[in-house]
Amino acid sequence: MKITFWGTRGSVAVSGRKYSKYGGNTTCVEVLLSDGKIVIIDAGTGIRELGNKMIKEKACFPHMFITHSHWDHIQGFPFFKQIYDKKTHIKIYAPHSTNKSLEQAFNVLMQEGYHSVPFSNLSSKIEFLNTGLEPLKIGNAKIETIMTNHPGACYSIKITEKKKTFAFMTDNELFPAHPKTSFKDFVEFASGADLLVHDCMYFHKEMKIKRGWGHSCDTEVARLAIEAGVKSLGLFHHDPERSDKKLDTLLEMCDKNYNSKGILRVEPAYEGLEIII
């Protein structure tokens, strides 16, 4: 299983020299399974470059999982070139409570006044699949989901193939006042993962004023990773105000508190990062 990061930002895309190291595109992650099947997680602005690569590779049958319909997770979809190719068949997976609203969100995103080509006129075949919360199979991979603690309905995804597990948990607050999902359940969900990528929009000192916003901080995420016994942790969904310099500071904190002590391998995810598990 090969994981490639095409967008690691949250909220809004950013640009400029101070964002050149970690990148400025919003959420999009590609998972290449051992049989060649492609699973795309979220359609933030990072999906544009992924689409360019897929056009060159003539990859026409991607599977797409959308964690939720906030703009930073779907705003790149109209610029994903595959959707204008009649040879393309995209299967979009959505848990039950988000299935209808997700299709509506794409229609709104591309309606007249916002985009030149309406969703209903796309050349590709786009199939919305209602997954519920039951595990499903894509090729030899097992896909599982869990609801996160975030405004509205948002879900994390876990992919297991050939005894290797990748858990992706963006837009999740681990310790809100009124959780939809308990910390214990998150520990169980991520247990033993080879790679856990988790929302880390804030530093721990910011959580006092950010509590309830649906995001987590470095110390909380590290606690989850340690209690779940994961092998490696990627920090994700970087705040648009988080420059390369500030994310380097976060990496230094991780090196000091975890990496140098052999407790856990932690690093902020960046655009272009490829991990094989």
Predicted pLDDT at 182? 98
Stretches in the chain below the pLDDT threshold 50: none
Q: Helix, strand, or coil here: 45?
A: coil
Structure tokens at 255: 């090196």
H-helix segments, 43-202? 47-57, 96-109, 183-190
Predicted pLDDT at 202? 97
Cβ-contact 17, 27 below 8 angstroms: no
Q: CA-CA-CA-CA torsion for 101, 3, 269, 151, nearest 10 degrees?
A: 20
Count of other CB atoms within 10 angstroms of residue 195: 22
Structure tokens at 70: 């906030």
Cα 28 off chain centre by: 6
Predicted pLDDT at 149? 97
Domains with residue ranges and CATH for the chain: 2-276 (3.60.15.10)
Predicted pLDDT at 96? 61
Predicted pLDDT at 100? 63
Entry pTM = 0.96
